[in-house]
Amino acid sequence: MRFQYVKIILTSLFVIPAFLNVAEAEILNANIKKFTINFGVTRIIYNSNYPSAEIQVENPQEYPILIQSEVFDEDKHNKAPFIVTPPLLKLDEKQKVTLKIIKKNAEINMNQESLYWFCVKGIPPLDNIDKENHHKSELNVNLSISSCNKLIYRPSILSGTPENDAGKISWRKEGNKLIVSNPTPYYMNFYSIFINGHEVSRDKIDYISPYSNQEVMLPKAKRVEWKVITDYGGESQLFSSDI
């Protein structure tokens, strides 16, 4: 799963005095533009055997866009020990480009996977804003959208893949809660979860960290079926467990 957040930029705003009637006032038209990108993959797997990881991004709009790329820790608040090249880039309409992610000289747990967020912010180019400011009859609303994708750093000591170990995930009930346990060194990103034949929303549980437990409020659970997302963005085989 990826997430997005939006910053609204008003490039031209003209207030019409209340005492003017419609005939005297110039009609104000709203011109809304989104500045966002598309990712070429659903997640990025960075193997420690390689000096970098790459991801393709695309400008889906019919107009140019600036993109600014950064990597954040799992909490999405602090910057992570990675650099992105180039960090700032202009993309023409429908243009695709490959960005490179490089790990800095920082200590990372080499016994299990680590999760980070690769984020790209879409920014209106300055020349685009200058042109819009000439249209005095328009309210130009630019939506600067930041899109983030999972970046999973995988140490070389891990020779397998999450889908190979997904059957080791266990489920148990404690009162009104369902406890999910991941005894593996991999981040398990769920493709789907069915409880008693009913699909569970990804808002309740999206992934589970290595060697951790997670609680879900599902008091009537009796049977669980699940699939995880593979390294290539597909779905694993179906796993099941009676509780």
- pTM surpassing 0.85? no
Instruction: Please report the pLDDT score of residue 2 as a whole number.
Output: 60
How many C-beta neighbours within 10 Å does residue 77 have?
8
Closest CA to 93 of 60, 56, 140: 60
For residue 131, is pLDDT > 80?
A: no
For residue 20, is pLDDT > 60?
A: no
Instruction: Please report the pLDDT score of residue 197 as a whole number.
Output: 93
- Matching CATH topology for 35-127+137-154 and 162-242? yes
pLDDT, tens digit (0-9, with 9 covering 90-100), for 73-93: 999 999 999 999 999 999 999
CATH 1.20.140.10 fits 35-127+137-154, yes or no: no
pLDDT, tens digit (0-9, with 9 covering 90-100), for 187-210: 999 999 999 999 999 889 999 999
Average of per-residue pLDDT across 113-123: 98
Average of per-residue pLDDT across 145-174: 96
Q: How confident is the model at residue 132 (pLDDT cuts 50, 70, 90)?
A: low
For the domain 162-242, what is the CATH superfamily, name and number? Answer: Immunoglobulins (2.60.40.10)
Mean per-residue pLDDT over the chain, rounded: 88
Give percent of the chain above pLDDT 90: 71
Instruction: Please report the pLDDT score of residue 3 as a whole number.
Output: 61
Closest CA to 140 of 122, 161, 124: 124
Instruction: Please report the pLDDT score of residue 176 as a whole number.
Output: 84
Domain ranges within the chain, ordered by starting residue: 35-127+137-154, 162-242
